[in-house]
């Protein structure tokens, strides 16, 4: 991300040079040629800015996928460790029984295989009433949010960090607040996509579908449109809406031929055919 910021700074410098050249051209001195050169430089700056946004989006995708892989590896390790512990415990009990000894196993709290944490003991309901002191009500007065490039970047990074840490509820809330407070930000399309992703991974498919469709309609030139169309197809599939899923996936194939998006769409369509959905 640091390199992208430096690249963006270089682009801003180029834009400043374009403006400097514009105001330094003498009136009537090769005006036509100068205008053509300025138009060319302006186009190059715009293309570089678009490339930065595309590369930033790809970097975020890879970061999110890496965090998911880490989580899966951690879950597999905890599950394997729990299985080994159970086998070892069973062997110890069998050996003790064969030797005629009575083995008393210590009482332990059950362990969650996914997280490795102890499951709290379930206690009987209390028969007597307890005194409860109410917490003070929070100050809900609305405060005006001043949008600056620094505050936009900080808000976006905070929400995306929550997503990488698998705190999906916090991520969804963060991206919602970002879109509310910074609707015209250059990160608004990415925030809209990751909002949908935070709902998709938690199986809130109806809300996820709305988020992805909103990105396609509100940000038609966004580099995230292709990813959103693919997720629209996936979401319709999860909702068992086979016709809509097929239409969205075939649209991905038509608009992005020869890309990883098209290959992922074809893979899901193949699964649908094998499952007899069309």
Residues 43, 155 share a domain: no
What is the model's pLDDT at position 138? 42
Q: Which of 16-20, 67-71, 229-233, 271-275 has the lowest average pLDDT?
A: 16-20
pLDDT in tens, 167-180: 999 999 999 999 99
Diameter over CA atoms, the chain: 109
Residue 68 inside a domain? The answer is no
pLDDT at residue 42 above 90?
A: no
DSSP state of 213: H
Q: Is 202 exposed, middle or buried (0-12, 13-18, 19+ CB in 10 A)?
A: middle
Residue 246 inside a domain? The answer is yes
The pLDDT-based confidence of 37 (bands split at 50, 70, 90) is: confident
Residue 59 inside a domain? The answer is no
> What is the C-alpha separation between 158 and 162, in angstroms, rounded?
6
What is the model's pLDDT at position 121? 39
Q: Which of 9-18, 148-157, 212-221 has the lowest average pLDDT?
A: 9-18
Consecutive H or E run containing 77: helix 31-98
Residue 126 inside a domain? The answer is no
Report the domain count for the chain: 2
What is the model's pLDDT at position 135? 40
Average pLDDT, the chain: 75
Q: What residue numbers bound the domain in which 176 lies?
A: 151-274
- Please provide the distance, in angstroms rounded to a whole number, between the alpha carbons at the two ends of the chain: 43
Residue 54 inside a domain? The answer is no
**What are the phi and psi torsion angles at 170 (to 5°)?**
-65, -40
Residue 253 inside a domain? The answer is yes
Residue 142 inside a domain? The answer is no
Calculate the dihedral angle through the C-alpha atoms of 38, 27, 20, 45, rounding to the nearest 10 degrees.
Answer: -10
Phi-psi region of 101 (alpha: psi -120 to 50; beta: other; left: phi over 0): beta
Residue 91 inside a domain? The answer is no
Residues 156, 267 share a domain: yes
Q: What is the model's pTM?
A: 0.55
> What is the C-alpha separation between 191 and 179, in angstroms, rounded?
7
What CATH number corresponds to the domain at position 155? 1.25.40.10
CB 212 within 8 A of CB 175: no
């Amino acid at each position: 991300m640091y390199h992208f910021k430096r690249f963006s700074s270089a682009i801003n410098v180029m834009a400043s040079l374009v403006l400097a050249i514009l105001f330094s051209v003498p009136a009537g001195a090769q005006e036509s040629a100068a205008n053509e050169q300025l138009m060319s430089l302006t186009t190059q700056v715009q293309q570089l800015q678009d490339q930065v946004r595309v590369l930033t989006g790809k970097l975020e995708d890879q970061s999110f996928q890496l965090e998911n892989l880490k989580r899966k590896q951690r879950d597999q390790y905890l599950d394997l460790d729990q299985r080994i512990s159970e086998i070892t415990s069973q062997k110890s009990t069998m050996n003790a029984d064969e030797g005629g000894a009575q083995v008393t196993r210590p009482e332990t709290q059950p362990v969650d295989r996914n997280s490795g944490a102890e499951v709290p003991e379930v206690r009987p309901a209390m028969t007597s009433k307890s005194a409860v002191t109410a917490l003070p009500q929070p100050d809900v007065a609305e405060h005006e949010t001043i949008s600056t490039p620094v505050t936009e970047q900080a808000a976006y990074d905070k929400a995306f960090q929550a997503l990488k840490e698998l705190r999906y509820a916090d991520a969804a809330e963060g991206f919602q607040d970002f879109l509310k407070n910074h609707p015209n930000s250059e990160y608004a399309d990415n925030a809209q996509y990751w909002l949908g992703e935070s709902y998709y991974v938690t199986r809130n498919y109806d809300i996820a579908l709305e988020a992805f469709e909103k990105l396609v309609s509100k940000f038609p030139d966004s580099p995230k449109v292709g990813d959103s169309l693919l997720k629209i197809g996936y979401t319709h599939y999860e909702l068992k809406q086979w016709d809509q899923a097929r239409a969205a996936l075939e649209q991905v194939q038509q608009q992005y031929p020869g890309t990883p998006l098209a290959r992922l769409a074809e893979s899901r369509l193949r699964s649908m055919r094998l499952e007899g959905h069309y």
